[in-house]
Amino acid sequence: MAGTVASATPARAGTRAVVRPPALVPGDRVRVIAPAGVPDTRLARGIQILEGFGLVVEAGAHLYDRYGYLAGTDADRLADLNAAFRDPGVRGVFAARGGYGTQRIIDRLDLAAVRRDPRVFVGFSDLTVLSGRLWTAARLVSFYGPMVNWTDTRTGPTEIESLRKAIMTMDPIVLTSDPAEPSAAVSVPGTATGTLLGGNLTMLQAGVGTRDLPDLHRAILLLEDTDESAYSYDRMLTHLTRSGALRGIAGVAIGQFTNAPVVSGQWTAAQAVQDRLATLGVPVLGGLRIGHGNGQLTVPLGARATIDTTTATLTVAPGVAPRS
């Protein structure tokens, strides 16, 4: 039986009130929605995993719609998004998949509903804009982790447990840099502590000048991306730097560089990123299994985090609050 829903626990981060949603417990209703691209048959496996946590999984009304490359019209995807955050019985919202499309509806998110009754949200990639908006508008911690369109060859038992612990327990999250990850080559020595914010680099750059991009002052910036060449990483980080978005950051945590082309005689993605970030004068830790690659782990965005290049670890405080 589900426990009583607790009010989200506020904490202080500088002058800002951080809101941790109540931890999910077996018996909770959760809803799967598709704010961006169209899910496929892999969705059944993701739903099975959530049900394995003891959660009662509901499908958004338009979850299986299709409108071009989008999972339904803007109006219908927005309706599912807002319905999930308005229903007091829904304690968690899970994105079916990424792709593209969240930007088209994010400005009409019902922020009053988000603030009135905070709950768990899980997504990554294109959903970076939604996590960013939940933070900038409500200081709500969200979870950067696998979406319900699940692939066991990419995310296996370890990754399932990482997701469960992040959204259902008060355990701190500790990730260790994996030397096998291409981004492990990116490193600037040191230790730094701050609020973990960020996500997909392409979406962060696209957020410049919008209400989706968080204020990164004193933050640990999380970056990852897929299918981008070395010069694209360079271009996006250069744009973020020139825009002033990276001014005053405390450090950088680098996730996965998935499917980055390697061209003989040219920089790799890691070399391009090293060149750009080394000039910021802050600690940088690469090799974290966060993003589009195999072994994707879950981390809370908006929680307090520390990177330590000596121990090669990212340590993040729990993203959920205890249930009463």
Q: Which residues are catalytic?
A: 125, 224, 292
Those residues whose C-beta lies under 8 Å from the C-beta of residue 267, and which sit 6 or more positions away, are 230, 234, 275
Those residues whose C-beta lies under 8 Å from the C-beta of residue 143, and which sit 6 or more positions away, are 120, 121, 122, 123, 163, 166, 167, 298, 299, 300, 301, 319
Token pair of 288 as six digits: 């974290």
Strands (E), 116-161: 120-123, 142-144
Burial class from Cβ neighbours inside 10 Å (0-12, 13-18, 19+) for residue 32 reads buried
From residue 98, how far is each of 39, 129, 130, 148, 164 by CA, in Å?
9, 11, 11, 10, 20
CA dist 153 and 265 (Å) reads 32
Burial class from Cβ neighbours inside 10 Å (0-12, 13-18, 19+) for residue 4 reads exposed
Question: Whose structure tokens read 């904490």?
Answer: 11
Token pair of 181 as six digits: 């990850």
DSSP states of 239-262: HHHHHTTTTT--EEEEEEEET---
- Calculate the CA dihedral of residues 142, 212, 16, 201 and round it to 10 degrees: 70
CB 72 within 8 A of CB 175: no
